[in-house]
Amino acid sequence: MDLTPGTREEMAQALAAATRDGRVVDIRGAGLHSRRGRPFDADQVIHTSGLARIVDHIPDDMTITVEGGVTVGQVLDAAGAHGQGWPQAPAQPGATVGGVLAAAVSGRRRLRFGPVRDSLLEVVVATGDGRIVKGGGRTVKTVTGYDLPRLLTGSLGTLGVIVQATLRLWPLPMAERWFTARGDDDAMLALAQRVLQQLHRPTAVILRPGALHVCLTGVPGDVVPPEGMSEGDEPAMLEGPGMVEAGVPPGSLPAFARRLAGDGRAFEAWMGTGVCMVPVASPGEVVAVRDLAMLHGGHAQVVDGDDALRADPFGPVPAGADIMRRIRDSFDPAGILCPGRFAAAEAVPA
């Protein structure tokens, strides 16, 4: 039977009961990031939508504390009323804060504002065996102990349920504009490199086959078209039967993108960050993209796709897998939480 706990204590009690009974549990927020990891059969789904309260917002400190089921849109509305925003968040207003953090989904403005993990100051988690654990602090000066916020960001619900989070906010920019250029792939790569070298802290430099999209924020007088570009709109999100997120060293991303373009693949490379999104339609395409990422010193994981595409979503188990397993055992001793999303669950041949 599905459960929707209304408090962190109820969440902890539900997880403790599942551990006691040996029930495999799937944690579900808005479900926008649920097609990650290996497919698995859950005995029970626990929803976070009952944890949907804004606990505190201190505009002077530029922080907001929310429960895990609060949506990105709610955070943006509350912060926006005070001229503030959460620029690290993805452009998914319906996504829950807990889901965004658990999946480590950063928005396109990562180049300037950093990944979403950098916005998480304090986190409260209900562990698999029903404990309530807090890490970090609501201000940077009060942060002590182990860095649980970074550990839990990207854990995909395998360590516990994020029941509360304190986020760092940013002032809304006075101006933000997108600029676009189109041309052959080599010309767009060269233009992207010039933008990164010549502009001070661009917000986003997005390379696609035959096109470059640049976002700039700041005072109106500084937000002007880079040479060779004209004003445009933010590009629509890539779509496909499945999606692979590749990560390579930022300096290797131009060569990685050039190979993708040469293979005729659609992609969206976030220049300067090393992140590249690649639509895929078959397990063979997943393997091809992953092999290319590994060739350039990186990795690739399936972040959306049906069961066939997610048969091997992570690729080779990363170094430190034994440490990952010991950490999971300390948070979820019975292994009930989202077992298919645990990257070190079993060895996968390279």
The structure tokens listed for 21 are: 């009974």
- Rounded Cα distance between 184 and 95, Å, is 36
pLDDT the model gives residue 319: 83
Instruction: Identify the pLDDT of residue 333.
Output: 97
Question: Residue 229: its pLDDT value, please?
Answer: 97
Q: Which residue has the tokens 């654990």?
A: 133
Backbone angles phi, psi at 333, to 5 degrees: -55, -35
In the chain, CATH 3.30.465.10 covers: 8-171
Instruction: Give the per-residue pLDDT at 350.
Output: 37
Answer whether residue 90 shows pLDDT above 50. yes
Fold of 8-171: 3.30.465
120, pLDDT greater than 50: yes
Going from the C-alpha of 305 to that of each of 103, 154, 236, 239, 280, the distances in angstroms are: 15, 18, 19, 11, 8
Mean pLDDT value of segment 318-325: 89
Q: Model pTM?
A: 0.94
Amino acid 146: pLDDT = 66
